[in-house]
Amino acid sequence: MQIRNHIQSKPRTQSAFTLVEMILVMVIIAALAAVVVPKFAGRSKQAKVTAAESQISNIEIGLNAFEVDNGYFPKGGSGLADLVEQPSAATGWMGPYLPKGIPLDPWGNEYIYVYPGKRNVGIYDLSSMGPDGKAGTEDDVGNWIDNSRR
């Protein structure tokens, strides 16, 4: 007696996404992107502002150390360069005060150093022109600005 296994095969059906399902998925993805993308877009600007504030603080440390060693803040056209290379008049120079050099701001521009300061009378003004690259606008980041309001 032979036992035969008969496998009954079902007709194969093709399964695929319908056009309506594909459109529905695309609508859901677009809705999620519309909610998520704006939240992260503002983070990039804020991260650069925070980086500029941090760099300004580090440069201020160098400027203050220079002043302690020499009795004055860097003057003239050389400005921040005096933190990296000893000026001839600086007899107490113990630098370099910025060992990695003078950084550019997060937008690729040089920091603006003014001594004596116009906003910080008696010391110096140190600022970045901010994202627009124009000095004197409201997006500037400087050592005289209360950045906690940003």
- Give the burial string for 27-38 (b: 16+ CB within 10 Å, else e): eeeeeeeeeeee
Predicted TM-score (pTM) above 0.85: no
Q: Which helix (H) or strand (E) holds 141?
A: strand 141-142
Q: What is the pLDDT along the chain (150 residues), one digit of tens a residue?
A: 555 555 566 666 667 778 787 788 888 887 877 777 766 666 778 889 989 999 999 999 999 999 999 999 998 778 899 999 998 888 899 989 998 999 999 999 999 999 988 888 888 999 999 988 888 888 899 998 554 444
Which residues does residue 112 pair with via DSSP β-bridges, in sequence order? 127
Length of the chain as a residue count: 150
Most distant CA pair in the chain, distance: 114
